[in-house]
Amino acid sequence: MTLELSWVLLLPALVPAAAMVLVLVVDALVPRVRLAAPVIGALGLAGGAAAAVPGFLTTDDRLTLCTPAPDGRCMWDGSALPSTLQVAALLATLAVLALMSVRRVGVIEVVMLLASASGAAAVVASRDLGTWLITLELATLPVVALVAWRERRAAAHGALTLLNTSLVSFGLLVLGTALWVTATGDPTLTGESLAAAWAVPEQRVLAGTGTVVLVAGLAFKLSAVPFHAWTPTTLTSGPLPVAALLASASKLAAVGALIVVLAPYDAVVGLAEGPHVVVAALVTLTVASLLTGTVMALRQTEVVRLLAWSTVAQAGWILLPLTALTLPGRRAAAVYALVYAVASLVAFAAVRAIHGPHVEDGRELTAYRGLLRRDPVAGGTLALALLVLAGLPPGVIGLVAKIVAIRPVVSAGLWPLGVVAVVAAVLGIAVYVRWFAVLFGEPESDAPARPRKRRASVGVAVLGAAILVVASALPQLLVGLVS
């Protein structure tokens, strides 16, 4: 058997992997050149993103790793939706590399970032379960090591929590994979194989159960309730740039992986014996995540913990349109994930710019009182990110993303779920406005001093804020990328 192979479509995942190997080779040959690793890493991430750009600029199917007809299967999809997620994940990782500071980041950190980015770029395009499973773990495990890399007991505890979660998640994913293959007899995630299995009651039960198990395994990585317990512990104990990575690039990889799993259901969603168990599982995760994450975020006074619980609530918003099991729903989930990733990166970068490397000190909300007066750049970008997350003007793109997320749910007749989403959106306004209002107060006398070396953090925050401004002014640009 021969495979139809297009190396160009594989470049978004291969370029970061090649950069990772080059970093190791250069470090072995000239270990004293400290700037080589971050420069090569940045070029690898930018090159991978550039290689994915042609994908979302075309509406044509871009498939490779295809077996011969008539029963051919394609195991890699470089079309618009996967390519958009690839660009976003790679650029988010590049932003995290900048937050780590060029002079402080080491070879190991760069290698792990590149490995995770390569896995994220691959998992969103994989259509066979073997590649999908391996690259999903490649996107996850290096992040565990990054959390523990700082020599702090709390960071080690956060990494151990994330590792235990990842192991449980991997076990569920393997089980779900086995159930899928048993039900369909096909190691690829295609609608044709699912439709054939759906016609047989026994196989239909196995396929539905396997999908629910796969969704549960991915719910750990999305921080969806009740699989969210690791999120506040890990995000608050590890380095702030790694928390930003978990809230952006890692989240995008998980969203892309879930879209791959749910895409075959286009073939069976309109049948009399529809995928009700899958819809029920997604609805349960969505409601629990929206309400629990929002209510818990309302109770937080420490800013990173607030952002961690916000991540849980945002997981519910990402899952919301996926409950429709339609292509518009998957595109809406991608749009929301993109908006959230940029807004969260801006928020974390602003916090980093305010505190510098010692971000554990003074992270209470009271330390941000009067920030817009004493630090207009960091305070302004943070304010914009909070308004986007709340869905309030001038962060219009946040509101647009929420409307886009609700629309497929209503179209599918799941209007009670839409009502829950509206309630969660109203409660979410209180979460972010509470922090936003603090920025206008009188500055505290013991407010943290502005760090000297913060150009990279300010640059990431300003660039991300500029993207949010453009997206708010022209929201059709973002929506059009995945429409």
- 37 and 105 in contact (C-beta within 8 Å)? yes
Is 8 contained in some domain?
A: no
350 contacts 381 by C-beta, under 8 angstroms: yes
Stretches in the chain below the pLDDT threshold 50 = none
454 in a structural domain: yes
167 vs 272: CA distance, rounded Å: 37
The confidence score (pLDDT) of residue 483 equals 62
272 located within any domain: no
Question: Is 147 inside a domain boundary?
Answer: no
Residue 144 lies in a domain: no
On whether residue 409 sits in a domain, the answer given is: yes
Residues 233 and 158: beta-carbon distance below 8 Å: yes
Position 434 in a domain: yes
Q: Assess contact for 343 and 436: CB atoms under 8 A.
A: no
> Which residues fall within 8 angstroms of residue 122, CB to CB, at 6 or more apart?
13, 131, 135, 138, 139
Is the residue at 480 inside a domain? yes
Domain assignment of residue 336, given as a range: 288-483
**Residue recorded with tokens 């194989």:** 193
**Residue-level pLDDT at 361:** 54
- Number of domains into which the chain is organized: 1
- Closest to 255 measured CA to CA, from 353, 345, 341, 152: 341
